[in-house]
Structure 1
Amino acid sequence: MRKQVLPCGKHWALLSSSVVLAAVLYFILFFCSYSSAYSTLVQEPCSHSLL
């Protein structure tokens, strides 16, 4: 049981770091989509054809 403590902690650290990385990526994706939607609402609809 003592040997399983280290790998579990290692996997948990890797999982938590991957979750944080995924959260940052989703936040960037949400921010980019929000900014693009805001720009299409503010600017002319011609910019929407580029997407």
Structure 2
Amino acid sequence: MRVIQTIFDGVFVLEPTVYKDERGFFMESYNEQTFRKLGFDIHPSSTVLRPF
């Protein structure tokens, strides 16, 4: 994960590492250990809705 500082104090762009091959791609959008190592202490909640 790459952390990009913006011109705004305390605002960052977090760019995940994307692994691609002939089957498609994989990326991890959130990993608590990685975020802690980067100095971020956040606890997001996530909900996915897929209509039929």
- TM-score, normalization by structure 2: 0.22
Q: Using CA pairs under 8 Å that are at least 6 residues apart, name the structure with larger relative contact order, 1 or 2.
A: 2
> Larger C-alpha radius of gyration, 1 or 2?
1
| Structure with the bigger percentage of helix | 1
| Structure with the bigger percentage of strand | 2
- TM-score, normalization by structure 1: 0.22
